[in-house]
Structure 1
Amino acid sequence: MASDSDDSLPPQGRFTRLRKLAGLSMQVGTDVLKSSAKRLTGGTPELLSKNAAEKLVSTLGELKGAAMKLGQALSMDPDLLTPEVRQVLARLQNQAPAMSHDMVSRVVREELGCPPEEAFREFSREPLAAASLGQVHRAVLADGRAVAVKVQYPGIAESLTHDMENLGLVVKTMSKASRLMDGSAYFQEFRDELLLELDYRREAELARGFAKSVARLEDLHVPGVIDGHSAGRVLTMELLEGLTLKDWVTKESSNEERFRVSRQLIRATYGPFFGAGEIHADPHPGNFMVMPDGRLGLLDFGSIKRFSPRFVDANRRMFQQSLKLEPFDVLRLSLEVGFTVEIPGDEAADLIREVLHIAGRPMRTTPYDYTSCEIPRDMRNHFTRNAARFLKIKPPPEAVMFFRSTGGLAQNLRLIGARGDFRGVFLEMAELLG
């Protein structure tokens, strides 16, 4: 239950937030050192203990903003954490500490002109979900329609800006140390996209556009926006019933059901990208809803990324060429995507070709079993072995959000763990492209 004091709001002040993160780093660092010692003595290492994970959830959930988004990403990696620890961190996906009802009322009144009890026939005091930038309440409109009302945390814009200033300082320091480590363009892309999520009017527009992008994929559903009850910091949308993917994966489901949902996730990622040049770039399991009628509901549209035609077209052709299972000029297509290469072309081509080979296993092998998927591990090892050379192969800044989405898709598919004809699913996507 949310507290009725200002303590329920995320801490503000750049140095206050930095101090809390620094303290957390020391606590978690001790766990990592213990894990390393355990590895040296032949024991089974764990990156984090359950106790350290609880500390992460407590601190990052309190901070919200970019810090909490980092925790959400960490909770999705099956190679770094045990299932027990991932389950603890998964609470960051939609179960952060909630703000008080008084604060919720204040924001709704400021944005809609009246308190929630007047704006809606019914308005739940307890949130359905509380995430990084705002929390969601169930409500009922005057005409009886059930809706989800997302209310932004007061002060979160300042908190998010401070997080970006702190992170930007790290990026700037690394960039000065070495030109090869200059990640300023990628940081700027991430920063700009994240700050745009604060504008709920923009999110409403993106949700309407994304609904059009998935319209021909009838097994997917984007909830409708209720314009008269939405503003800059309040967003009201159709309420979807069902289980979030985070909760659904904990239930006993047949392989047929798991394959169906996996197929829907692939369609939800690549369908809008290839068809309309946009992608859902915040793919944690709390943002997908497995609905009772068999459709997959999509949630949270603040991070929809729209790409340049050049980026989409070159990726489309690379996707189609990969499905043909024939050699193709991977370096030429990578350059068309927007990559810059500072090592010999043949060397770069071999490195990129191996990336596509690892990532493309489900596109080649039938059936493919995600329960034994080693793509993330092998990809991480490939980058680690060739780190110095990969620093000289630089993707365009807009690729940051593309990799965030497709990397999250791979982790979600492994989390579901279905076995089936995934090559056939990718071929379906190719057919949609004509």
Structure 2
Amino acid sequence: MASNPSDDDKLPTQGRFTRFRKLAGLSAQLSADVLKSGAKRLVGQDPELLSMSAAEKLVTTLGEMKGAAMKIGQAVAMDTEMLSPEVRQVIARLQNEAPPMPYALVERVIREELGDAPEKLFREFSQTPLAAASLGQVHRAVLHDGRPVAVKVQYPGIAATLSGDMDNLGLMVKTISKASKLTDGTAYFRELRDEMLLETDYLREATLCASFARSVERLPDLKVPEVISSLTTQRVLTLELLRGRTLKDWVLSQPSAEERYRVARQLILAIYGPFFTVGDLHADPHPGNFMVLEDGRLGVLDFGSIKRFSAHFVDANRRMFLHAMRKEPMDILALSREVGFTCELPDDEGSALIQEVFQIVGRPMRLAPYDFATCSITRDLRSHFTRNAPRFLKIRPPAEAVMFFRSTGGLVQNLRLVGAEGDFTRVYQEVAALL
């Protein structure tokens, strides 16, 4: 079936300059909102950083653009310190509720990739998407043998769109690095760009999904969907359909304290288990990528952003973690250098700064009980970096650490969203027992 020309108008905004101009317009509107917030703060009020109207504008614009722009919006929605619960709930729609592409375009991509219409390839194929995200949308279907599946269909042209977005952002990073006295951020941006562009290859994602499934075989409370290889190509990914609610929807159901602790434990295992055992890390851990299943397990979704770390990065982090769990003394600066950090400060000064970071992020590993509902890890890290900014510019992590920070920072935000309280030292001991 040929798509209607008007359907193409509903694709993500095309053209590098057009997208840049659209983002610039959004930025101007949001800046005005932030300035109003600052003015209220000056007179002693405690305003929201973003108004509801600005949040709605953000969701509409980024949802239509998809690509890297939408991924940025997903990250913003996870920041519990920056936005009110109401505003965050609006922006959270970007996590899997973006405006969908017309079904005619879905059918066109499937025909191009799999050689036939969805109605022929599947016993059933729902024209209404289950979810619409940054690079593609997901449809429920049933195989001819009766198995329910989720079919992820990539937006036409999104690979070029994403590349253009990253080029625009890269130019901004390069300009800022040259114009300011801040450390050069181009290597870190290149790492993020390269990893993000790989997400448009669904054959690669299928391989990573199967590999991640093997990495959690010793963790029966986690579930990774099976790949249907015969119906998977570079732009179409068919996976076993998991039954349950995404994390952000499950939280709204007011789960009990016991349920919150159970899911928080599963989230910790899902991030740290595969990383410490095989060096694989889920580096896009927003709440739409985890599902609380009907049988109580935690389903893990979206494997395009699985990061595979170098052996020395994993090994040094593993030893650092085990030293902490055993309460053994460690040379934090030497281990950080093994990870790949460089430090231009005197050793005692650099060690003290890194040690404070370690103390902040390690609270749930040391303190029992620990309450993630009142967790201040993100706020305290920001405060530590802000107070010591000139000195932190002389401590540089390796480029691959960008994805590690993205993942572990997202985990903390998800745990705060779940709001569990309990003895999490036992959970981290479970992780240590895997090694």
State the TM-score, normalizing by the size of structure 1.
Answer: 0.98
1:310 aligns with 2:312: yes
Distance 2:348 2:17 in 1: 47
**Structure 1 segment 238-317 matched on structure 2, within 5 A:** 238-317=240-319
Which residue of structure 1 aligns with residue 387 of structure 2?
385
For 1:269 and 1:408, locate their aligned partners in 2 and report how far apart those are by CA, in whole Å. Answer: 10
Counterparts of 2:406 and 2:324, CA distance in 1: 21
**Secondary structure, aligned partner of 2:152:** strand
Offset at residue 326 of structure 1 (A)? 4.1
SS in structure 2 of the partner of residue 124 of structure 1 = strand
Matched, 1:53 2:91: no
Distance 1:4 1:286, change over 3 A: farther
Q: Is the 8 A contact 1:4 1:100 kept in 2?
A: no
Gaps of 5+ in 1: none
Task: Report the Cα distance in structure 1 between the residues aligned to 2:181 and 2:344, rounded to whole angstroms.
Answer: 12
Indicate if the aligned counterparts of 1:325 and 1:364 stay in contact, CA closer than 8 A.
no
Q: Which of 112, 124, 135 in structure 1 is aligned with 2:114?
A: 112
Q: How far apart are residue 115 of structure 1 and its match?
A: 1.3
CA shift, 1:117, in A, is 1.1
CA distance in 1, matches of 2:6, 2:409: 39
C-alpha distance in structure 1 between counterparts of 2:85 and 2:278, whole Å:
36
How far off is 1:365 after superposition?
A: 0.6
What SS does the aligned partner of 2:281 have? Answer: strand
**Which residue, out of 325, 328, 331, partners 2:330?**
328
The answer for the alignment partner of 2:427 in structure 1 is: 425
Among candidates 351, 354, 359, match of residue 353 of structure 2 = 351
Give how far 1:69 is off: 0.3
**SS in structure 2 opposite 1:132?**
coil
CA distance in 2, matches of 1:23, 1:289: 35
2:368 aligned residue (366, 369, 375): 366
User: For 1:76, which of 73, 78, 86 is the aligned residue?
Assistant: 78
Question: Structure 1, residues 375-414: CA drift from partner, whole Å, max 9, x if none?
Answer: 1111110011111111110110011101100000000000
Q: Aligned AA for 1:140?
A: V
**d(CA) in 1 for partners of 2:192, 2:170:** 11
Q: How does 1:10-409 map to 2 (within 5 A)?
A: 10-178=12-180, 180-409=182-411
What is the alpha-carbon distance in structure 1 between the residues aligned to residue 233 and residue 326 of structure 2? Answer: 47
How many angstroms apart in 2 are the aligned matches of 1:288 and 1:384? 32
* Percent of residue pairs bearing the same amino acid type: 69
Inter-partner Cα distance in structure 2 for 1:276 and 1:324: 21
Q: Structure 1's 76 and 177: CA in aligned 2 closer, same or farther, altered over 3 A? A: same
- Offset of residue 424 of structure 1: 1.0
Q: CA deviation at 1:327?
A: 3.4
Using the alignment, how far apart are the partners of 1:185 and 1:262 within structure 2? Answer: 33
Unaligned runs of 5+ in 2: none
Letter in 1 for 2:368: T
Aligned residue identity for 1:320: L
Q: CA RMSD in A?
A: 1.0
Distance in 1, Cα, partners of 2:397 & 2:257:
36
1:416 is aligned to 418
Where 2:128 maps in the other structure, the secondary structure is coil
Moved more, 176-185 or 380-389: 176-185
- Deviation of residue 4 (structure 1)? 6.4
Q: Which runs of 4+ in 1 moved over 6 A?
A: none
The Cα of 1:374 is off from its aligned counterpart by 0.9
Distance, in Å, in 1 between the alignment partners of 2:181 and 2:280 is 31
CA apart distance, 1:178: 4.5
> TM-score normalised to the size of structure 2?
0.98
Give 1:175 deviation, angstroms.
Answer: 2.4
Provide the C-alpha distance between the structure 1 equivalents of 2:221 and 2:33, rounded to a whole number of angstroms: 43
> Which SS does the other structure have where 1:181 is aligned?
coil
Answer whether contact 1:61 1:97 (CA < 8 A) is retained. yes
Once the two structures are TM-superposed, the CA of residue 177 in structure 1 deviates from its matched residue by: 2.5
Three-state SS of the structure 2 residue aligned to 1:173 is helix
1:7 CA drift (Å): 2.5
- Is the partner of 2:9 in helix, strand or coil? helix
Specify the code of the residue in structure 2 equivalent to 1:85. V
Question: What's the secondary structure of 1:81's corresponding residue?
Answer: coil
In 2, Cα distance between equivalents of 1:179 and 1:231: 45
How many angstroms apart in 1 are the aligned matches of 2:321 and 2:273?
12
1:173-223, Cα deviation, whole Å (9 max, x unpaired): 122235642011101100000000000000000000000000110000100
